[in-house]
Chain A
């Protein structure tokens, strides 16, 4: 069906500040019009979405899909399907694959697998340096030609400041935004926990907040020098958020995101050595969590991401120290974002912005919005529908979630990518 009209939904499109009951008309995979149908348009199919929210599909800046290299944890097909079920239509895949996403061959492999899966769109992030070793530049222009829209350090900081400066200059020449994870490798070496009174009690080595702020200061100095467009991934601390706020006020071309679990969990959640709370950057203090929430509300942090890291059970069924870091986050990205609305931190359009137009804007994607000409990537949300995250409802191949057993409100009924249904909940709206 190339012409589809969705009727009677509450359409929320933060990019155009649209919030109201409107029809949406789709033609050939793109949004044709919002509101009355254009003259001469007749849909081949109509959906009555009364009572549902129609919103852009989510754009997730940070996901490890584990393919190529760790297919025993997850695959592009399994995770793209989980994303679709969670309303996520664009997934940015970390370059920390095996082999590293540092050649067009790997980029093409990922995009081919994603196309075959026919689920959510997968956007590979290109490695900033070869093998993410921090020594030689990766072939950024070639990878851009193969479909990459940004370069990333893949969570492995470039130690040599001269190499980093040149990588930033070269990426700017190619007009590619640079995604950097602010972490000092020496201050964080070997630890998976915030340094504070909980790490002292548990006898775990701690990562001080300075691991983030020292790295940010170094990056900001190079942004001032080069004018490169830099995005900071996965802020974890109040002081880090303050540094980004000040840098933005000074007019530096920087942006930032936060992993959603940082807005809900703290170091306290590690108290029982729960290896599902073993994440990097680590869960920090209560004041950090509140400051990050505040930064999301006031727009210093423009994007919330899943920081999706699915694992096999063996990676987590070990003592905390030896567990592999990360949370499987695709299933809960939208649900936890909606919880921020329930908790009155954000209004609904702002919450949606932080997972759609916010992240899309950072990478300059024509996604995360529903204006005429945009790809018809969208989801229909039953905002009051309760559900529970458990082994049955979880779609990602990785079941490593500290939110297992949580009750949520708001469930995706249907997800469309370029006008095509890629997910449909069992008891969804009937075609009219």
Chain B
């Protein structure tokens, strides 16, 4: 599935972490590192994407992801258009392809796409004009590659090398695009061990084929890990007979201070947000010294700047053409 790379092996689209060469993943992290300085300056802009147009195409509601993409694009000096399709357009009967054609006619350079259907970003990437890049901001249960990369960035900042790390992902892996992308990213970057911890109802079939060790018992799963990633538990999971109750889930899989004591003493706790306190994680852990949850949000901007600039780099900007 590497229709996301250009002829030189650089990023053209960013649809999934799966199959991405390690060197490229490391380059995303390195580029993000160089942008983190920009974010901390008083003038938070670089002119890399001046004259470029980025369209945020969100078919599902999102606050955090959309705003960090918007900030990232603006800090690269791009023009940004937000289109919230959770409320308009395709609901008027316009087909997805027709809508893409119309937006392309506005001379945009990049679509940032969030969609409820797995594979939607691939579909859009296959149908856009060759000069347009597509960045997947979450498609169904499939992938959320920039979220995974900002998580990797956060892990690297706190832990350094991936090789010795044991990472546990806890919770609803079945429905999680974030978890799938994290698993590919961790394995792609050479993490020592990737564990998934959940009841069987929240694990996809053959999840070990993604390169994970499966644990159903959280005490065994958290033993000696360096990183604990908790996932959000959606309330609707109770209706599909996947779980009996939030209370029982918390009893069996909630991340508490007591359970964190099983992990290494310097372990960090992560969560892609938004948090359900008292369902998947205890407040004392979420707000405690091991939590890096807010760092994840900040790092999201630098990582998204890196991905957007890498997708559009090497192509002559309109400014250069005029010079």
The chain A residues found within 8 Å of chain B, CB to CB, are 195-197, 199-206, 208, 271-273, 314, 317-322
Contact pick for B123, options A204, A208, A273, A314, CB 8 Å: A273
| A200, B123: Cβ atoms closer than 8 Å | no
What residues of chain B lie closer than 8 Å to A314, measured between beta carbons? 95
Check B118 against A320 for contact (C-beta < 8 Å).
yes
Q: Could you say which interface size class chain B belongs to?
A: 20 to 34
Contact yes or no, A321 B119, CB < 8 A: yes
| Residues of B with C-beta under 8 A to A318 | 95-97, 123
Q: Contacts A200-B209, A201-B180, A203-B180 known; list 5 others, CB within 8 Å.
A: A201-B18, A271-B1, A319-B115, A320-B119, A321-B120
Complex Cα–Cα for A272 and B118 (A): 11
Rounded to whole angstroms, the CA-CA distance of A321 and B210 in the bound complex is 22
Which B residues are in CB contact (< 8 Å) with A272? 1, 122
Give the distance in Å from the alpha carbon of A289 to the alpha carbon of B1 in the complex: 23
* B40 in contact (CB, < 8 A): no
Contact of A200 with B97 at beta-carbon distance under 8 Å, contacts A273-B119, A319-B117, A320-B119 already known: no
Min distance, Cβ A194 to any Cβ of chain B, angstroms: 9
State whether the Cβ of B139 lies closer than 8 Å to any Cβ in chain A. yes
A197 and B205 within 8 A (CB)? yes
The residue in A206, A273, A317 that gathers the most chain B C-beta atoms within 10 A of its C-beta is: A273
Contact check, B119 vs A319: say whether CB atoms are below 8 A apart.
yes
The distance from the CB of A205 to the nearest CB of chain B, in whole angstroms, is 8
Chain A residues within an 8 Å CB radius of B142: 202-204
Cα distance A321–B122 when bound, in Å? 12
Closest partner residue, chain A, to B3 (CB atom): A272
Please judge, given known A-B contacts A204-B141, A319-B115, whether A196 and B123 are in contact too, CB under 8 Å.
Answer: no
Candidates B95, B143, B204; contact of A200 at CB < 8 Å: B204
Residue contact A204 to B207, C-beta cutoff 8 Å:
no
A197 touches B123 (CB 8 A): no
- A317-B97, A321-B140 known; A199+B117 contact, CB < 8 A: no
Chain B, 169-228, CB within 8 A of any chain A CB: 177, 180, 204-207, 209-210
A195 surroundings in chain B (CB, below 8 A): 205
Can you list 5 A-B pairs, Cβ within 8 angstroms, ordered by A?
Answer: A202-B119, A202-B142, A203-B142, A203-B177, A204-B142
Closest A-chain residue to B177, C-beta based? A203
A363-B205 Cα distance, complex, nearest whole Å: 39
Residues on the B chain within 8 Å of A200, using CB? 204-207, 209-210
CA distance A317 to B119 in the complex (A): 12
5 A-B pairs with the lowest CB-CB distances in the bound complex, closest first: A203-B142, A203-B141, A273-B119, A200-B204, A203-B118
Note all chain A residues with C-beta closer than 8 A to B143.
203
Q: Is the CB of B122 within 8 A of A196?
A: no
Using known A-B contacts A317-B97, A318-B96, A319-B96, determine if residue A204 contacts B205 with beta carbons closer than 8 Å: no
- Which chain B residues border A271 with CB–CB below 8 Å? 1
Contacts of A320 in B (CB 8 A): 117-119, 123
CB-CB under 8 A from A273, the residues of chain B are 118-119, 122-123
Assuming the contacts A203-B139, A318-B95, asked whether A197 and B119 have C-beta atoms less than 8 A apart, the reply is no
Interface string of B265-279 (1 = CB under 8 A from A): 000000000000000
Say whether B97 contacts A199, CB under 8 Å. no
A320 CA / B180 CA spacing, docked (Å): 19
CB of B144 to closest CB in A, whole Å: 10
Chain B residues whose CB sits within 8 angstroms of the CB of A202 once the complex forms: 118-119, 142
Among A199, A206, A319, which residue has the most Cβ atoms of chain B within 10 A? A319
Given that A203-B142, A203-B180, A272-B1 are known contacts, is A322 also in contact with B117, CB under 8 Å in the complex? yes
Q: Within B100-146, which residues are at the interface with A (CB < 8 Å)? A: 115, 117-120, 122-123, 127, 139-143
Taking CB atoms, residues of chain A closer than 8 Å to B140 are 203-204, 321
Cβ contacts under 8 Å, B118 to chain A? 202-204, 273, 319-321
Given contacts A203-B143, A318-B95, A319-B96, contact A197 B117 (CB under 8 A): no
In the complex, chain A residues whose CB is within 8 Å of the CB of B177: 203
Per the bound structure, the CA–CA distance linking A199 and B127 in Å amounts to 23
Nearest-neighbor residue (CB-CB) of B96 within chain A: A318
CB distance from B200 to the nearest CB of A (A): 13
Residue numbers in B under 8 Å from A322 (CB-CB):
117
B1 and A319 contacting across the interface, CB-CB below 8 Å: no
Report yes or no: B122 in contact with A197, Cβ–Cβ below 8 A: no
What is the bound-complex CA distance between A276 and B65, given in angstroms?
A: 32
Q: Which residue of A lies closest to B204 (CB)?
A: A200
Residues from chain A with a CB closer than 8 A to the CB of B180 are 201, 203
B residues less than 8 Å from A319 (CB atoms) = 96, 115, 117-120, 122-123
Asked whether A204 lies within 8 Å of B119 as measured between CB atoms, the reply is: yes
Kindly state the separation between the CA atoms of A317 and B140 in the bound complex, as whole angstroms: 18
Q: Are A196 and B139 in contact (CB under 8 A)?
A: no
Alpha-carbon separation in the docked complex, A196 to B210 (Å): 11
Distance of A357 Cα from B51 Cα, bound (Å): 68
Q: How many angstroms between the C-alpha atoms of A353 and B97 in the bound complex?
A: 44
Q: How far is the CA of A208 from the CA of B97 in the complex (A)?
A: 32
B99 to chain A, nearest CB (A): 12
